[in-house]
């Protein structure tokens, strides 16, 4: 497997505490960026109905004209850089749509959409460890929880505010410390589950902490309190909504922290990692298991595993979802006709007693290693340069 030696672009995310003036400026910027996005989306949609072509350059010219109108003159009050970046994001959304990689872009909601603004190098100043954004006189009060790479110069800065009211800044930098790890002959099969979050082909089982279940009572109480507040823009409802958002943020933060630790450890220890290509989007349609599956966050686990494998020169192989990993004896290869979910241990005709999950992980590993030789039975990786792919992606369709 060829390994890329170019530097990795890596985002470093930090919490910061804006002054009242900075918070007001950023809130205006979020609102203006959302307005520009919706105006450009409406213009492109109308043009598409008329079978006309409107691209980024055309919407950029529209933005200049909008700023000259009396109705939209307030767009001049914020930095133009985040507004231009918003138009570029819309262009990317349309490119993904016409390439059949995403649905048609949707309008951004003031209440539900993510509040964020992206600044390129012309929209910020980073000097002596201090970050100052355009239209601001004071640097941001950032909590540097970890250092940036030595000599790093951010190429992009993204400022965001989550539903819990917390402010974050993300700095995109070249990270020379991310280099391919020394090659090893270790390989592991990974079976994801609900009783145990991960089961490895080595026999190790990693418990599922069920973060959402731990805070379910607190979350339910906060949601009941929110439901009693009158709908509208009242301060009481806003406080109740933030309380619910803080509980959700606590759950998500703990889940993400665990997944980062697990994926980093697995990638460092193994050269080849074999997983099952699960369709989580379809699985969560089962209303009995949807909550538990979402809490386990299998998709986020796979995403982390793939990009870290690409960073460190490892290989992730996804075995076809129809491969009978649970029903196949890893000792003799006998296929059992039925294997209900409640059966956790079973004995094969050859006399081998299997733990269902460990046996599945062993079979996944064997199938994955076979794939590296013959290239059969693997689903294409989701835009991961470090993964194994058996089919070619179709080229994106040109935008009309």
Asked if 153 and 284 sit in the same domain, the reply is no
Distance CA 107, CA 308 (A): 33
Beta bridge partners of 190: 200
Q: Residue 243 falls within a domain, yes or no?
A: no
* Regions of the chain with pLDDT less than 50: 1-4, 377-400
Distance CA 57, CA 64 (A): 11
Q: Residue 197 falls within a domain, yes or no?
A: yes
pTM of the full structure? 0.83
Q: In 10 A of CB 251, how many CB atoms?
A: 19
Is residue 191 part of the annotated active site? The answer reads yes
Instruction: Write down the catalytic residue from 276, 295, 306, 315.
Output: 276
CATH number of residue 298's parent domain: 3.30.420
Q: Residue 98 falls within a domain, yes or no?
A: yes
pLDDT (tens digit per residue) in 355-388? 888 988 999 998 888 877 665 544 444 444 444 4
**Which domain-ending residue is among 175, 200, 217?**
175
Q: Residue 69 falls within a domain, yes or no?
A: yes
Asked if 132 and 16 sit in the same domain, the reply is yes
Distance CA 143, CA 319 (A): 42
Instruction: Write down the catalytic residue from 191, 295, 306, 315.
Output: 191
Q: What is the mean pLDDT of the chain?
A: 88
Distance CA 9, CA 176 (A): 9
How many folded domains does the chain comprise?
A: 2
Q: Residue 91 falls within a domain, yes or no?
A: yes
On whether the CB atoms of residues 205 and 199 are closer than 8 A, the answer is: yes
Instruction: Provide the angle, in degrees to the nearest 10, between the axes of the packed helices 235-269 and 216-227.
Output: 150
pLDDT recorded at residue 111: 86
Asked if 118 and 192 sit in the same domain, the reply is no
Alpha helices in the chain (DSSP H): 20-49, 56-67, 80-98, 211-214, 216-227, 235-269, 280-283, 290-296, 298-312, 356-374
DSSP for 70-118 reads STTGGGGGS-HHHHHHHHHHHHHHHHHHHTTSSPPP-PPPTTTS-EEEE
pLDDT (tens digit per residue) in 157-208? 999 999 999 999 999 999 888 889 999 999 999 999 998 999 999 999 999 9
Q: Number of C-alpha atoms within 13 angstroms, CB side, residue 209?
A: 13
Is residue 276 part of the annotated active site? The answer reads yes
On whether the CB atoms of residues 305 and 263 are closer than 8 A, the answer is: yes
Range of the domain at 359: 187-209+254-374
Asked if 136 and 269 sit in the same domain, the reply is no
Q: Residue 203 falls within a domain, yes or no?
A: yes
pLDDT recorded at residue 390: 37
User: What is the DSSP pairing of strand 8-16 with strand 167-175?
Assistant: antiparallel
Instruction: Write down the catalytic residue from 25, 277, 315, 357.
Output: 357
């Amino acid at each position: 497997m060829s390994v890329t030696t170019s530097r990795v672009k890596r985002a470093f995310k930090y919490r910061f505490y804006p002054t009242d003036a900075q918070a007001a400026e950023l809130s205006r910027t979020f609102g203006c960026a959302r307005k520009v996005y919706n105006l450009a989306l409406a213009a492109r949609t109308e043009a598409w109905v008329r079978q006309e072509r409107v691209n980024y350059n055309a919407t950029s010219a529209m933005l200049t004209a909008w700023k000259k109108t009396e109705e939209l003159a307030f767009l001049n009050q914020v930095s133009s850089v985040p507004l231009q970046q918003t138009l570029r994001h819309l262009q990317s959304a349309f490119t993904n749509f016409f390439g059949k990689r995403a649905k048609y872009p949707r309008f951004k909601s003031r209440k539900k959409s993510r509040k964020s603004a992206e600044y390129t190098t012309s929209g910020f100043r980073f000097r002596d460890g201090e970050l100052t954004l355009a239209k601001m006189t004071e640097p941001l009060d950032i909590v540097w929880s970890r250092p940036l790479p030595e000599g790093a110069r951010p190429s992009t800065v993204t400022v965001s505010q989550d539903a819990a009211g917390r402010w974050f800044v993300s700095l995109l930098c070249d990270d020379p410390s991310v280099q391919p790890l020394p090659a090893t002959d270790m390989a592991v099969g990974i079976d994801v589950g609900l009783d145990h979050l991960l089961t490895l082909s080595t026999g190790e089982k990693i418990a599922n902490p069920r973060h959402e279940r731990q805070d379910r009572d607190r979350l339910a109480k906060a949601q009941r309190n929110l439901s009693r507040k009158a709908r509208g823009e009242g301060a009481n409802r806003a406080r109740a909504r933030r309380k619910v958002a803080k509980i959700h943020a606590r759950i998500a933060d703990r889940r993400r922290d665990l997944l980062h630790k697990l994926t980093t450890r697995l990638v460092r220890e193994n050269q080849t990692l074999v997983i099952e290509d699960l369709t989580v989007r379809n699985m969560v349609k089962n209303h009995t298991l949807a909550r538990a599956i979402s809490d386990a966050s299998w998709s986020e686990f796979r995403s982390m595993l793939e990009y870290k494998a690409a960073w460190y020169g490892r290989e992730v192989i996804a075995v076809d979802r129809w491969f009978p990993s649970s029903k196949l004896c890893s000792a003799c290869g006998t296929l059992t006709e039925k294997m209900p979910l409640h059966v956790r241990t079973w004995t094969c005709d050859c006399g081998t007693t299997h733990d269902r999950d460990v046996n599945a992980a062993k079979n996944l590993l064997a199938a994955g290693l076979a794939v590296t030789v013959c290239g059969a039975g693997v689903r294409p990786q989701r835009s991961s340069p470090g993964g194994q792919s058996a089919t070619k992606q179709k080229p994106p369709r040109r935008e009309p």
